[in-house]
Amino acid sequence: MTFWEHLDELRKVLFRSAIVIVALMAGIFMAKDFVFDKVVFAPINSDFALYKLIDKVLVMMGMPTLPEFKLSLINIDLSAQFFIHISTTFYFALVLSVPFIVYQLWKFVSPALYDNEKRAAKGAFAFAGILFLLGVLVGYYLIFPLTLRFLGTYQVSLEVANQISLQSYISMFTWLILIMGVVFEMPSLAVILSRIGILTKSFLKKYRRHAFIVMLVLAAFITPSGDPFTLMAVGLPLYGLYELSILVCRDIDK
């Protein structure tokens, strides 16, 4: 195939992916009450799943439960709510369509691979979508609510009340959750590089200490607030993914 023929095939992949995203956006846009009240704004109340789980653990340990938590959001921009509705709908549609998009990318890339590369990449592509959705769930049920509860209730003085804007909340919500989905692709990338022969288990073990520092720097770069709590909340899962990458890599030396 010529360059333009390859480009035409890529255009078909992008077109099919765009159709799926638009179709999902239409359904999600109409389900506004459920999406925002039951999903997006669920972490601002004490009845969120993670908070209830922490309370149960504290009760089992004979310790007092978490204080009542209720975060109030305000909107200061006339058009913000409408455009946030549209942008949030797009992000939800993008997340849900990731398995389909990964499958389309695999169909586009696989004819160019050698047999050994195809065998190496097939399993990684198959789990890439699952890992992304798993990362999104970890971001939604763990990273974001912990960050929100800490930053939303932190005060330098009782004289200064927190008034969280809708734009600020949605920005942190989408960024943290999407970035966790992306970084959860690390093990699948490690599998591909390991099977091809570029990356080895011994190499990852050798630079484990360096990787810890790199993960903290990366966490500081991707966290929107830059506070130490959010830094550790993102950095520790990143390093955990590095350790998981060591487990799934082949040791070519052996």
Per-residue pLDDT tens for 40-98? Answer: 999 998 889 888 888 898 888 888 888 888 888 999 888 899 999 999 999 999 999 98
pLDDT reading at 241 higher than 80:
yes
Tokens representing residue 82 in the block: 């409408």
Instruction: Please give the DSSP secondary-structure letter assigned to residue 156.
Output: S
Question: Which segment of 14-18, 95-99, 126-130, 165-169 scores lowest on mean pLDDT?
Answer: 126-130
Please count the other Cβ atoms lying within 10 Å of the Cβ belonging to residue 217: 12
Measured from the Cβ of residue 117, the count of other Cβ atoms closer than 10 Å reads 16
Residues 119 and 195: beta-carbon distance below 8 Å: yes
Tell me what pLDDT residue 19 has.
Answer: 95
Instruction: Record the tokens describing residue 188, joined without a space.
Output: 């699948």
The mean per-residue pLDDT over the stretch 238-253 comes to 76
